[in-house]
């Protein structure tokens, strides 16, 4: 049980760290990507790339949240026979 609590605390701390890092770096990354496009076609591709990166980050954060939720919820044990 102590191992599960430790893993839960570690996962929660990692989620907070990743969210803070993403919030700090996202505007810089998006600006660099947007301004790197030379023409309208490249700008459209870059815009779609930014969207896919944001979706991937959100999916990763959701996965971490599901892990912490799963670690925090009590698990059912089979009844003794």
pLDDT tens, 40-51? 777 788 788 888
Residues above pLDDT 70, as percent of the chain: 83
Nearest to 65 by CA among 11, 2, 7: 11
Distances (CA, A) of 62 to 15, 69, 78: 9, 10, 29
Quote the pLDDT of residue 14: 86
pTM of the model: 0.43
| pLDDT bracket for residue 22 (50, 70, 90) | confident
Q: Which residue has the higher pLDDT, 4 or 74?
A: 4
Query: Quick one: pLDDT at residue 81?
Result: 47
């Amino acid at each position: 049980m102590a191992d599960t609590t430790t893993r839960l605390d570690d996962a929660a701390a990692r989620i907070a760290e990743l969210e803070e890092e993403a919030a700090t770096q996202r505007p810089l990354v998006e600006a660099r990507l947007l301004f790197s496009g030379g023409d309208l076609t490249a700008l459209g591709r870059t815009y779609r790339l930014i969207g896919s990166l944001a979706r991937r980050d959100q999916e990763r954060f959701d996965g971490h949240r599901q892990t912490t939720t799963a670690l925090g919820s009590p698990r059912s044990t089979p009844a003794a026979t």
